């Protein structure tokens, strides 16, 4: 049975209990959604084998979403990986990721495994991955740089999980989340390129999802139960705060 694992739930400033927001889809193979911190440590905590990861989706080029990529690649290489790794994202993000790796002279790392970059078109409901047990679709959302949100559909149980990624309220988020069992929506606060918990609730209401999980929230000096209360102003369904290592079956 495939599942979505919350590997981190904090917005840009992580703390002891909340790593920056990133996720994994675990099935027969694992797909990472963004990569931060010291990836091997967090993956070990989640019980995910490094060798099960064949695909990495990068949502956008901000440090709190992609800063762990060079270390992930280096660790895979040092552990003797030979299998190819596929990385998916918008051109804006992949171009910068390649530049970042070039700064580390990865072309000089002996016997480095193949990495294939797949540029996703900047349009709605693009099919990113079709596995036996889950599928992933992307749509552009509204953030400070080109960014994608995702919809993940499990094949055996037919459950759908949408992830807003970093965004201000946008019709594409409603579309991605339409009728989903769970919407994982950011709640970093109002302002350009982000959303409040109340706006996350409004998206959950409009998309008619079953459950709302708030993520990418500020951890310093914020009362998390207050975030849930705010989301309940606009969404009548179940609301909770995503916590690190939480799992959602799909």
Question: Which residues would be at the binding site for Zn ion (CB under 5 A)?
Answer: 62, 166
Give the shortest CB-179-to-Zn ion separation in angstroms.
26
Q: How many CA atoms lie within 13 Å of 198's alpha carbon, on the beta-carbon side?
A: 6
**Closest CB to Zn ion among residues 147, 230:** 147
Take residue 136 and report the two structure tokens written for it: 């992933």
Q: What sign does the CA torsion over 209, 213, 215, 220 have?
A: positive
> Which CB sits closer to Zn ion, 66 or 250?
66
- The residue among 18 and 62 lying less far from Zn ion, judged by its C-beta, is 62
> Closer CB to Zn ion, residue 62 or residue 159?
62
* Closest distance of CB 91 from Zn ion, Å: 17
Nearest residue (CB) to Zn ion, 166 versus 168: 166
State in angstroms the smallest separation of the CB of 48 from Zn ion: 24
CB of 142 to Zn ion, least distance (A): 11
Lookup result for tokens 């309220």:
169
Give the Cα separation of 49 and 174 in Å (integer).
Answer: 33
Q: Which of 137, 10, 1, 125 is nearest to 65 (CA)?
A: 10
CA distances to 73, 86, 199, 220 from 54, rounded to whole Å, are: 12, 6, 34, 34
Torsions phi, psi for 101 (to 5 deg): -65, -35
Shortest Cβ 167–Zn ion spacing (Å): 9
3-state secondary structure of 148: strand
């Amino acid at each position: 049975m495939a599942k979505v694992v919350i590997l981190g739930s904090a917005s840009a400033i992580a703390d002891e209990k909340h790593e920056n927001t990133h996720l994994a889809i675990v099935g027969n193979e694992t797909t990472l959604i963004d990569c931060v911190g010291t990836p091997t440590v967090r993956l070990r905590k989640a019980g995910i084998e490094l060798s099960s990861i064949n695909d990495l989706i990068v949502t956008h080029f901000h440090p709190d979403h992609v800063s762990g990529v060079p270390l992930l690649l280096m660790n895979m290489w040092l552990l003797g990986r030979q299998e190819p790794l596929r990385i998916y994202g918008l051109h804006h993000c992949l171009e910068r990721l390649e530049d970042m790796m070039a700064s580390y002279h990865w072309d000089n790392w002996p016997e480095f495994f193949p990495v294939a970059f797949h540029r996703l078109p900047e349009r709605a409901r693009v099919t990113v991955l079709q596995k036996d047990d889950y599928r992933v679709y992307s749509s552009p959302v509204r953030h400070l740089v080109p960014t994608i949100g995702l919809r993940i559909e499990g094949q055996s149980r037919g459950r759908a999980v949408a992830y807003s990624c970093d965004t201000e309220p946008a019709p594409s988020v409603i579309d991605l989340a339409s009728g989903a069992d769970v919407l994982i929506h950011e709640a970093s606060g109002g302002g350009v390129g982000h959303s409040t918990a109340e706006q996350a609730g409004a998206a959950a209401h409009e998309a008619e999802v079953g459950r709302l999980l708030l993520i990418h929230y500020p951890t310093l000096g914020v009362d998390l139960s207050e975030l849930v209360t705010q989301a309940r102003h606009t969404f009548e369904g179940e609301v909770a705060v995503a916590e690190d290592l939480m799992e959602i079956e799909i």
